């Protein structure tokens, strides 16, 4: 290896086998393709090549920990940033990453109250966390009902995966139910979610809610849609979270999924110039990290967005520390000062693929908006049905504050001083 090639190292905690393989291979396919594009097209980011090593976790938390520990010290200056790609693994890694000073990006998943950068200085639930997403979803439902005031007296069922991921939004839903006067009932579905007949019979025949929120993962999603159809619950009254809104979740459900709406912080599709370029340069050179048919799917595009965010944070840090291989701490500075404007997004060739984003050291989320798409079973396409819907920070922030402070006191953590939410970093 030549002396002068600089390499920034990224551990890739992937899962390409097991029940959730579709999510893992899709996401990392996109992310790695983006990084490959940087290397192939630009010769790295400002001269620093991107290097990654895969470690198969099989979506198993223990293996996630093992992978993290194995890879965290590799590369010239150690791992720069880790995408655990699993809420379970994120939880396992929070304290470790904090001790090791490696930023943890849990984009659209993970521990919600970690958005409070004062308590969780090394965790970044970027773009939109679970709770924020949820407020957008209630807003969407409100819009469909003709205004938030019409939510009063309505009934919503929350059908969720019975895991830490699934349970995460129960508090915020309850809080919103109180605020808007709707009724919420939770239906946990045990892993892996193969059979939901009882839950759906209860929903469709007895509870008869106006809306169902689908917070599933993996095989639980198509099963829910099919079961809904069998019990006569209309798919267009089901709103999914973004881990329930990929092609893999709806295609197996066939016609039953027609009209189903899911949230997203990015759309699907491969018409973006950026993705075309990837197909050209990366896949064209036979260096693609996923089968070309899956390019442009939801999970893939999520990986692209993750790539953009990561690389942009790197650039931000490089602007301050020079075009060097960054350390975890420097990377964190980059993340905490990350700001991706609409122009920059357009410049990247990703106009419409993501909303502008800006992070601070207190706010590790960025509060990005949410877009809703409807599945069209005939054309096998997601059709966007809303524009970007902003999240309701007023609800979420105070909850995050309470929850994270409780964590801090349990753990004896002193909040980083000298900052208030939104202020500049030291």
Partner 1 sequence: MTLVDFLFFVEVLVGGFLTGIMYALVAIGLVLIFKASSIFNFAQGALVLFGALTFVLLTEVAGDFWAWTGWLAVGLAAAAGIIFLLGRMNLDTTKAKKFSEKYVLKLPLYITAVLLVVLALFVDGGQNMWRGVFVTLLIFLMLTTAVKSPKWAMGVLLGLAVVSFLGDGVVTYRALAVSLVIVIGLAIAIERIVLRPMVNQEPIILFMATIGLNYVIEGIAQGVWDADVHALDIGIEDIPFEVYGVYVSQFDLFAGLIAAILVTALAIFFQKTRVGRALRAVADDHQAALSVGIPLKNIWVVVWAAAGIVALVAGLMWGSKLGVQFSISLLAFKALPVIIIGGFTSIPGAIVGGLIVGATEKLFEVFVGIPFFGGGTENWTPYMLGMFFLMFRPQGLFGEKIIERV
Partner 2 sequence: MFYREVGQYKSSYRADQAIFPITNDRIGVMLILIVAFVVPPLSGNQYIMGPILTQLLVFGLAALGLNLLTGYAGQVSLGSGGFMAVGAFGCYNLVLRLPEIPIFIDFILAGLMAAAVGILFGIPSLRIKGFYLAVATLASQFFLLWIFDHVGWFTNYDPAGVASAPTTTLFGSLAEEGGVLGFLAPINVLVSGPNATPEAKYILTLSVVVVLALLAKNLVRGMTGRAWMAIRDFDIAAEIIGIRPLRTKLLAFAISSFYCGVAGALYVFTYVGNADTEAFDLIRSFTILFMIIIGGLGSIMGSFLGAAFIVLLPPFLNILASHFGEGTLSGATLANLELIIFGGSIVFILAVEPQGIARMWQIAKEKLRQWPFPY
Provide the minimum distance between the beta carbon of 171 and partner 2 in the complex, in angstroms, as a whole number: 5
Q: Which of 216, 164, 218, 294 is nearest to 23 (CA)?
A: 218
Tokens for 309, please give them: 């965010």
329 vs 376 by CB, closer to partner 1? 376
165 binds, among partner 2, partner 1, none (CB under 5 to 8 A by kind): partner 2
Provide the minimum distance between the beta carbon of 294 and partner 1 in the complex, in angstroms, as a whole number: 7
* Pairing status of strand 381-384 against strand 371-376: antiparallel
28 vs 140 by CB, closer to partner 2? 28
Tokens for 342, please give them: 């609409």
147-186: contacts with partner 2 (CB under 8 A): 162-165, 167-168, 170-171
CA distance 196 to 201: 8
Kindly indicate which of the ranges 54-62, 209-217, 224-232, 300-308 contains the residues binding partner 2, using the contact rule CB under 8 A. 54-62
CA distance 281 to 183: 51
64 CB-near residues (< 8 Å, 6+ apart): 13, 57, 84, 86, 88, 89, 92, 93
Number of neighbours of residue 337 by Cβ within 10 angstroms: 18
Looking at the DSSP assignment, which residues form a beta bridge with residue 264? 371
**Helices vs. strands in the chain: H and E counts, helices first:** 14, 13
Angular region, 161: left φ>0, alpha ψ -120 to 50, beta rest: beta
From 38, 79, 136, 199, residue interacting with partner 1 (rule: CB under 8 A): 199
Q: Is 17 in the site for partner 1 (CB under 8 A)?
A: yes
Query: What is the signed CA dihedral for 298, 20, 262, 289, rounded to 10 degrees?
Result: 0
From 197, 273, 284, 343, residue interacting with partner 1 (rule: CB under 8 A): 197
Q: What share of the chain is helix, strand, coil (3-state, %, to 5)?
A: 45, 15, 40
256 vs 325 by CB, closer to partner 1? 256
254 binds, among partner 1, partner 2, none (CB under 5 to 8 A by kind): partner 1
H-only helix segments in 18-129? 21-42, 61-71, 87-100
Provide the minimum distance between the beta carbon of 351 and partner 2 in the complex, in angstroms, as a whole number: 30
Kindly indicate which of the ranges 199-207, 234-242, 352-360, 368-376 contains the residues binding partner 1, using the contact rule CB under 8 A. 199-207
Chain residues binding partner 1 by CB under 8 A are: 16-19, 21-22, 25, 162, 186-190, 192-195, 197-199, 201-202, 205-206, 218-219, 222-223, 226, 229-232, 248-249, 251-254, 256, 286, 291, 294
Chain residues binding partner 2 by CB under 8 A are: 14, 16-17, 25, 28, 53-56, 58, 60-63, 65-67, 69-70, 73, 87-88, 91-92, 95-96, 98-99, 111-112, 162-165, 167-168, 170-171, 188, 190-191, 289, 403, 407, 410-412
């Amino acid at each position: 290896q030549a002396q002068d090639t600089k390499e920034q190292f990224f551990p890739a905690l992937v899962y390409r086998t097991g029940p959730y393989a579709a999510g893992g291979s899709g996401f990392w396919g996109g992310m790695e393709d983006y990084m490959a594009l940087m290397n192939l097209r630009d010769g790295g980011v400002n001269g620093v090549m991107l290097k990654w090593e895969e470690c198969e976790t099989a979506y198993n938390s223990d293996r996630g920990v093992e992978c993290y520990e194995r890879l965290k010290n590799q590369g010239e200056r150690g791992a720069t940033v880790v995408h655990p790609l699993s809420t379970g693994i994120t939880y396992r890694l929070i304290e470790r990453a904090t001790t090791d000073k490696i930023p943890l990006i849990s984009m659209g998943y993970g521990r919600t109250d970690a958005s409070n950068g004062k308590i969780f200085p090394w965790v970044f639930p970027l773009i939109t966390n679970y709770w924020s997403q949820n407020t957008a979803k209630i807003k969407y439902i409100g819009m469909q009902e003709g205004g938030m005031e019409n939510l009063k007296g309505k009934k919503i069922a929350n059908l969720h995966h019975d895991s830490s991921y699934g349970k995460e939004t129960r508090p915020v839903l309850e809080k919103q139910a109180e605020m808007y006067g709707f009724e919420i009932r939770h239906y946990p579905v045990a892993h892996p979610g193969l059979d939901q007949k009882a839950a759906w019979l209860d929903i469709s025949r007895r509870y008869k809610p106006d809306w169902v929120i689908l917070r599933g993962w993996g095989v639980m999603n198509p099963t829910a849609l099919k079961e809904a159809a069998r019990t006569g619950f209309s798919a267009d009254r089901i709103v999914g979270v973004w881990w329930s809104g990929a092609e893999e979740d709806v295609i197996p459900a066939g016609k039953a999924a027609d009209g189903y709406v899911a949230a997203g912080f990015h759309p699907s599709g491969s018409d973006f110039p950026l993705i075309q370029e990837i197909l050209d340069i990366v896949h064209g050179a036979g260096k693609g990290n996923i089968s070309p048919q899956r390019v442009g799917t939801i999970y893939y595009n999520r990986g692209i967005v993750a790539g953009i965010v990561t690389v942009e944070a790197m650039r931000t840090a490089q602007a301050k520390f020079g075009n060097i291989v960054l350390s975890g701490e420097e990377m964190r500075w980059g993340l905490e000062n990350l700001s991706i404007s609409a122009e920059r997004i357009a410049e990247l060739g990703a106009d419409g693929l993501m909303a502008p984003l800006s992070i601070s050291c207190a706010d590790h989320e960025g509060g990005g908006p949410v877009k809703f798409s409807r599945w069209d079973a005939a054309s096998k396409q997601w059709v966007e049905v809303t524009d970007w819907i902003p999240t309701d920070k007023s609800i979420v922030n105070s909850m995050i504050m309470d929850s994270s402070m409780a964590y801090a006191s349990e753990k004896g953590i002193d909040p980083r001083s000298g900052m208030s939410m939104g202020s500049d970093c030291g």
